[in-house]
Structure 1
Amino acid sequence: MLRTNTAFLQFVEQLFEDKQAGNAIQLKSFAAGAHLIRQGSIISQVYIIREGITKCYIAEDNGKDYIFEFLGTGEITGELEAINKGACLSNITALTPVTVFTIPHNRFMALLRSYPEFNELLLKVLAARIYQTCIRTSYQQLYPVEYALLRLLSLEASQQTFFSKKDMAAYLGISVRSFNRTLKDLREKNILDKEGLNIDLSKEQLEQMIKRFEDA
């Protein structure tokens, strides 16, 4: 749900501290709600999140958003555009105040050629995205919305983050109306508290319920 990458961030911070290797790397801040990247635009920099949370999403022609992922500390964005030299595939918007490292495209490509460790870290990022996308697609296709929402809420609680209903619905690929209907069903079953989005079960009870969905 919220992706982070400590190893990638540590390597970029080391480059930033190296005056020769990191001479083109800069720090930049964005307020909550600001766009780091706009879908369809042409950018000239790669961004590595140092602090804060963003969402990566596609805006459809019908006005609806589809959220691919929430990105946190150490995650990289804009690397595909640097490699493919094309327009941005998605939007990246700050959900909290965000600080990023920026690397110009030409310097980013030079770092990939010069530092095998940097190259390997990026390959691991891309491989992890494919793996996580496959896992997410499978549970959205195979299990009911209740299961996906419980997984989402349990992850939100464990990571101590907060996302709006609209963003959670967009992440699950459903309408806000369907999202609210699912919340109502879970409250009627005494799984969620009556007012908020807190799971009203012990950790053991929640694990047993999720397992029942998976074994069904």
Structure 2
Amino acid sequence: MSALLAVVLLAVLLPLAGAAAGPAGSFDEDVLAKDVPARDMPAKDVPARGVPAKNGDVRAKADTPVEALGDGTDGTAGKPAKQARTSGLLSGLGLTTAAQCGPELASPEGVEAQTCVLSQGRDTWARTYYRNGTGEELSAVLTLMGPDGRTVQMHCAVDEGDEPGACETPRERTAGEPEAYSAVAEFAAPADADGSEGQDQGEGRPMLLRSGSNAAPATGS
């Protein structure tokens, strides 16, 4: 587990989040980032599935202005309001918002994602940034895991297209240190016509990508 986690205060992180983000306060602030070794975060036994995206550098660039982006609070994909000045899944994370992010991953089927735990003031929540190039709508399940064993889960519809999107959990009052939280997002293909469900988010709905906030990239899908 040697992956680095980017701890961010408003700015740019990776080439996917450039045009996708839910509400984390204002998206017009500058981000200050610090790399944190993955070993300092609880592993939660959730491996990443996928391979690093081509531009998956998890180091943030400080003092880079970004544009306001979309909203994902209703559990659906956040629609980008306008193109950010910088590329990447993580663009801006709001006023004094700290982010602990795993690596940007990509699946052979064309899904790219990066998942973060965000904290602002007394609140902590999870957000995953994605781009769905599979040619069909997918489903995603985003889970925030707290230090007290509490979990918060959000189901999101992931529209197909080249534009990045975002899905996030509701905010909750931080219990302990934000660094004790972790998050994982699982992306699956659509269900069969009969709507049957089984393992991996449903029979006929194979897991395409698993993206964690503190998981090292793994080969395979």
Q: TM-score range by the shorter chain?
A: under 0.3
> Normalising by structure 2, what TM-score?
0.26
Q: RCO greater where, 1 or 2, for CA within 8 Å and sep 6 or more? A: 2
Whichever structure has more helix as a proportion of its residues is 1
Highest CA radius of gyration, 1 or 2?
A: 1
Higher percent of residues as strand: 2
